[in-house]
Amino acid sequence: MVAEPVVILGAGHAGVGAAAALRDEGFDGPVRLVNGEQNLPYQRPPLSKAFMKGEVDAGGLVLRGEGFYAQRGIELLHGKAVRIDRHQKALRFQTGATLSYGHLILATGSRQRRLPFATDGAKINYLGSLPDAETLRDRLTKAKKVVIIGAGFIGLEFAAVALQMECEPHVVEQSDRLLARSVSPLISSFFEAEHRRMGVNIRLSRTVVGIRSCGSEFELRLSDGLAMQADLVVAGIGTTAEDSLAIEAGLPCDNGIIVDSDLLTADDSISAVGDCTRHPNKFVPGGLARLECVQNALDQAKAVARRLTGKKAAYDAVPWFWSDQSDLKLQIAGIWSNCDRFAVRGDLSDRAFSVLGYDRDGRLKVVESVNKPAEHMAARKLIAAEASIPIDQATDKSIPLKTFVASP
Ligand SMILES: Cc1cc2nc3c(=O)[nH]c(=O)nc-3n(C[C@H](O)[C@H](O)[C@H](O)COP(=O)(O)OP(=O)(O)OC[C@H]3O[C@@H](n4cnc5c(N)ncnc54)[C@H](O)[C@@H]3O)c2cc1C
């Protein structure tokens, strides 16, 4: 059994998930959850979606109501840790206070990557936290022309919202396609066509190389020499793991705290879960992965709680993710870069279809569904089972994908 107390650093999806899972698994020792933010722990995905549109307020984002923590015997502490003292088995805080742990779970998440050049006093917006989203939402209501740097999920979700708010969104992306890191080329082209049709201006294969403010406006310089004006600039150019305390404490890190398949770091008194980990993952090419999604945070949290209560732990869940852009719901199960061949199930023109990706041995490795939630649910099971379904059958719309899921 684990040494007590269990201290969890970071109260996002992974940290709150780990605290709840410890209680679900029957752990009855002290659980101390350190929240580095002012608000009650909240969900991040709606920040670029419903919250940005004004459909939910901050109260609607909370992961668990205030009473939950007291009811489950989880001490919710506020504070920013500045050091892990492995020798003393204690966290040190900005205030000078310390907190001892028997076992420490790091759930420190990730931080938004900053633009790599000085912006001459111009206020660039990033979208990683509730305070970021509150500021951005307020500025969006006053903006007309918006430049979004980066065509990843956050950038495109924000572009779709900006359009709904009657702004003129311009997206600048260094890659030659949208969402290049995360989806197959087929899905990239579909989303590019859809965004252009809706009225998002997209410039691919170029970067923003300079920004300066001129009064209430910004002037941006692009790598192809073009100058653009905007009254709001948002950068969504990826994240890096929040692993700075782990590095300083001498734990092996590589843009992510290195953990084994049990989510244990090199120190057997410290585990790590969520966005901050680089972990073994059989579904990801190369074997070691840092994933940034709610599924990974929650499934790792449950796995670590099982291990700390003496049960089976190894983390081997199929990665999955979703994104909402205008009326398009994209759901992804698996990883596209595993694949040699892709096939479409359904018709792109219906705006409801799935892209199926196969590896060279004919195994289904990814399913990217647009407005097809039932196919996404079946896909998660098929990918977990490493199913080999003949392409002609898998793409036959008259056979529901769930037909291929073996009964237990
Ligand atoms: C705008 C936005 C939209 C997203 N949309 C989706 C989506 O549609 N689908 C999806 O699956 N995922 C989405 N994600 C990603 C998802 O939110 C993350 O994968 C998830 O939040 C990871 O959970 P986590 O607990 O590991 O990290 P986080 O949620 O980032 O939580 C980490 C917490 O640790 C705290 N912390 C860090 N260092 C310290 C310290 N030294 N002391 C105290 N506290 C500390 C941080 O302040 C933070 O509160 C989105 C993310 C953003 C920002």
Percentage of the chain modeled with pLDDT above 70: 99
Using CA positions, which residue lies closest to atom 41 of ligand 1?
81
DSSP state, residue 335:
-
pLDDT of residue 319: 96
CATH superfamily of 6-111+240-308: FAD/NAD(P)-binding domain (3.50.50.60)
Measure the CA–CA gap between 257 and 264, rounded to whole angstroms.
10
pLDDT of residue 407: 58
What spacing in Å lies between the alpha carbon of 256 and ligand 1's midpoint?
A: 14
Nearest CA among 349, 376, 341 for reference residue 193: 349
From 91, 278, 292, the mutation candidate for ligand 1 (largest count of ligand atoms within 8 A of CB) is: 292
Measure the CA–CA gap between 321 and 329, rounded to whole angstroms.
11
Residue 55 has pLDDT above 70, yes or no: yes
pLDDT of residue 148: 98
Using CA positions, which residue lies closest to atom 14 of ligand 1?
45
What spacing in Å lies between the alpha carbon of 39 and ligand 1's midpoint?
A: 14
Using CA positions, which residue lies closest to atom 19 of ligand 1?
293
Percentage of the chain modeled with pLDDT above 90: 88
Domain boundaries along the sequence of the chain: 6-111+240-308, 130-235, 327-404
For residue 247 the two structure tokens come to 């590095």
From 7, 9, 13, 83, the mutation candidate for ligand 1 (largest count of ligand atoms within 8 A of CB) is: 13
Question: For 300-317, how does the pLDDT look when each residue is reduced to its tens digit (9 = 90+)?
Answer: 999 999 999 999 878 989
Question: For 58-101, how does the pLDDT look when each residue is reduced to its tens digit (9 = 90+)?
Answer: 999 999 999 999 999 999 999 999 999 999 999 999 999 999 99
In this structure, the residues whose C-beta lies within 6 A of any atom of ligand 1 are: 9-15, 34, 36-37, 44-45, 47-48, 80-81, 107-110, 127-128, 154, 242, 245, 274-276, 292-294, 297, 321-323
What spacing in Å lies between the alpha carbon of 41 and ligand 1's midpoint?
A: 10
Question: For 268-302, how does the pLDDT look when each residue is reduced to its tens digit (9 = 90+)?
Answer: 999 999 999 999 999 988 889 999 999 999 999 99
Measure the CA–CA gap between 274 and 71, rounded to whole angstroms.
24
Q: What is the pTM of this model?
A: 0.96
Residue 408 has pLDDT above 90, yes or no: no
Q: What is the SS3 assignment for 393?
A: helix
Please determine whether the domains at 130-235 and 327-404 fall in the same fold group of CATH: no
Q: What is the largest CA-CA distance in the chain?
A: 65
Measure the CA–CA gap between 176 and 383, rounded to whole angstroms.
29
Count CB-CB contacts under 10 A for residue 74. 22
What spacing in Å lies between the alpha carbon of 259 and ligand 1's midpoint?
A: 18
Using CA positions, which residue lies closest to atom 23 of ligand 1?
13
Question: For 191-218, how does the pLDDT look when each residue is reduced to its tens digit (9 = 90+)?
Answer: 999 999 999 999 999 999 999 988 888 9
Average pLDDT of the chain to the nearest whole number = 95
pLDDT of residue 135: 97
Which of 178-187, 209-218, 228-237 is least confident?
Answer: 209-218
Count CB-CB contacts under 10 A for residue 69. 21
Measure the CA–CA gap between 236 and 69, rounded to whole angstroms.
33
From 85, 140, 237, 275, the mutation candidate for ligand 1 (largest count of ligand atoms within 8 A of CB) is: 275
What spacing in Å lies between the alpha carbon of 110 and ligand 1's midpoint?
A: 6
Confirm or reject CATH 2.40.110.10 for domain 130-235, answering yes or no: no
Confirm or reject CATH 3.30.390.30 for domain 327-404, answering yes or no: yes
Q: What is the mean pLDDT of residues 222-228?
A: 96
Using CA positions, which residue lies closest to atom 50 of ligand 1?
45
For residue 344 the two structure tokens come to 């479409």
What spacing in Å lies between the alpha carbon of 20 and ligand 1's midpoint?
A: 17
Q: What is the separation of C-alpha 354 from the centre of its chain, rounded to a whole number of angstroms?
A: 21
